[in-house]
Amino acid sequence: MKRTTVDLWVGVFVTAGVIALFTLALKVGNATTVSASHGYTVFAEFDNIGGLKVRAPVKSAGVVVGRVEGIVLDQQKFMANVKIRIDNHYKFPKDTTAAILTSGLLGEQYIGLEAGGDTANLAQDDRIKLTQSAVVLEKLIGQFLYGKAAEGNAK
């Protein structure tokens, strides 16, 4: 096939475009960070998840180890059932606790895992039994006011 100069310039253009796409996917996007497709899923039930969202990070000691994959309301217990996918590299003991925490004062909410002392590890579809719900600011203020009022009555 005869090669023309146009072919070369189209080649340059397409190469630049494809490089840009890959840069966006690898450098800008999260393709290289913990990918949600390889890993095992566990479940955790919370009384209140606050502002937790699907795709929120799951961290242990501040390191991202997985992502929240789904949140549904359990219609029997009326608790939030959170599906967590943890990367295959990370193993956690069976008595690990999960808490919903907030990064910074106004930051996003994430799930913090704190390892326990069990010798057996969490496996696919296991349930995290010990959970701590999100702090709801209104409840906190309510408790504070209630406490203050009770104090005033006692005096």
Partner 1 sequence: MIGALDRALRHIGHLAIDWVWKLGVATRFTGYVLVRSADSVRRPQLTLNEIYFTGTLSLIIIVVSGMFVGLVLGLQGYETLKRYGSAEALGTLVALALVRELGPVVSALLFASRAGSAITAKIGIMKATEQLSAMEMMAVDPFARVLSPIFWGGVISMPLLAAIFSAMGVFGGYLIGVVVIGVDSGSFWSQMQANVDLREDILNGVIKSVVFGVAVTLIALFEGYDAPPTAEGVSYAVTRTVVTSALAVLALDFILTSFMFTGV
Query: What's the closest the beta carbon of residue 23 comes to partner 1, in angstroms?
Result: 5
Q: What's the CA gap between 69 and 59, in Å, rounded?
A: 14
* Min dist. Cβ of residue 19 to partner 1 (A): 8
> How many residues bind partner 1, per CB under 8 A?
29
Mask: binding to partner 1, 105-144, rule CB under 8 A, as x and -?
-x--------------------------------------
Q: Report 54-93 residues binding partner 1 (CB under 8 A).
A: 54-55, 57, 64
**Closer residue to partner 1 (CB): 2 or 155:** 2
Considering only residues 14 through 43, tell me which ones interact with partner 1, judged by CB under 8 A: 14, 16-21, 23-25, 27-33
Rank residues 49 and 128 by Cβ distance to partner 1 and give the closer one.
Answer: 49
d(CA 19, CA 81): 41
Q: How far is the CB of 2 from partner 1 (least distance, A)?
A: 9
Q: How far is the CB of 29 from partner 1 (least distance, A)?
A: 4
